[in-house]
Amino acid sequence: MFGLSFFICQPIYGSCQSPHAGDKQEHASPKNQFVLPAAAPTITVVNQYRPSPDANAAPKHTESYLHRLFSPENIPNILLFFVGTAGVVVAVCTFRKIERQTRATEESLVLTQRPRIIVRNFYFTKSAAKGAPYHVLSAVESGSVASGQFSIVNTGATTATVRDIVCQTFISNDGTLPMRPPYEGATVNKAALQMKAGEISPYTFGREEPFTQFEANPFFTLDSPAKFFVLGWIGYTDDVGTYRFTHFCRYYAPIHGKRFASVIDPDYENAD
């Protein structure tokens, strides 16, 4: 009886132990098991048309801009803008007025302290005839071109700009001048010579052809009225552009002296 009981309890014991062993294995297995991370949820984007909130506000854009522009807080800035614009206009007008006044003052100064061109100191630079000794009686002799020079002088108080010069020689056996000046229609020598107050500039003259014996003889006849003239005109401008003339006419007569003299004739000798 005892032996049967032992035999019966043996399987029961085994059956009772097996569940506990299984539990141990079941509890121990999670420690060594690899767990996969959960997959992230998929997000699907659906493009759905949505009307712009500014679409209906477009007609009101200009109105809102003007409303903001002329809003009370911007009124000081608007006033400053108009004040600044008015200041610029006044400044420009004032500047132009000052410029006109300055120009008028300069013109008045030039008119009262104007330049004045005269000529003086006429003389021959070569008095010997071709092939003749150096010391001769005068420059108006056979074979001579009667070359010489004179001085252009600014006796005024401001700058003069010499623009045109005409200079010729003329022989008059009776000592008179024609009604029509000999230099009318002559070639004008253009210049751009600026001369300050008191400045002197030389200018040369002479014949294109030498004296012939026939032309020279009257100058050495006793009491001969023959005269050798150097005449012409000078055109010049002042600082404001006013064009002025100086006409000159000097004569040389060997029997009256060894120097040039001025003619007393306002048509030939004058200064503007």
Please report whether residue 33 resides in a domain.
no
Q: Which of 142, 205, 203 is nearest to 168 (CA)?
A: 205
Q: Which amino acid is at 22?
A: G
Number of domains in the chain: 1
CB burial of 42-64 (b: ≥16 within 10 Å; e: otherwise) equals: eeeeeeeeeeeeeeeeeeeeeee
Distance CA 255, CA 219 (A): 8
pLDDT attached to residue 93: 87
Within a domain: 131: yes
What's the confidence (pLDDT) of residue 172?
94
Residue 60 lies in a domain: no
Nearest to 198 by CA among 122, 132, 116, 110: 116
Q: Is residue 240 part of a domain?
A: yes
Beta carbons within 8 Å of 109's beta carbon, 6+ residues apart: 158
How much is the pTM?
0.59
Alpha carbon distances (Å) from 20 to 7, 29, 47, 126: 22, 14, 59, 156
Question: Residue 218 in contact with residue 226, Cβ under 8 Å?
Answer: yes
- Cα(75)–Cα(67) distance, integer angstroms: 12
Residue 73: its pLDDT value, please?
A: 74
SS3 36: coil
Q: What's the pLDDT score for residue 21?
A: 45
Residue 193 belongs to domain with CATH number: 2.60.40
| pLDDT at residue number 266 | 94
What pLDDT, on a 0 to 100 scale, did the predictor assign at position 163? 97
Task: Please give the pLDDT value at position 188.
Answer: 95
Residue 88 lies in a domain: no
What string of pLDDT tens digits covers the 272 residues of the chain?
444 444 444 444 444 444 444 444 444 444 455 555 555 566 565 555 565 555 555 555 555 766 676 677 777 887 888 888 888 988 888 888 887 777 667 667 666 788 999 999 999 986 555 555 554 444 788 888 899 999 999 999 999 999 999 999 999 999 999 999 999 999 999 999 999 999 999 999 999 889 998 888 888 777 888 999 999 999 999 988 899 999 999 999 877 777 899 999 999 999 88
Residue 209 lies in a domain: yes
Question: What is the pLDDT, as a whole number, of residue 16?
Answer: 44
Range of the domain at 266: 117-271
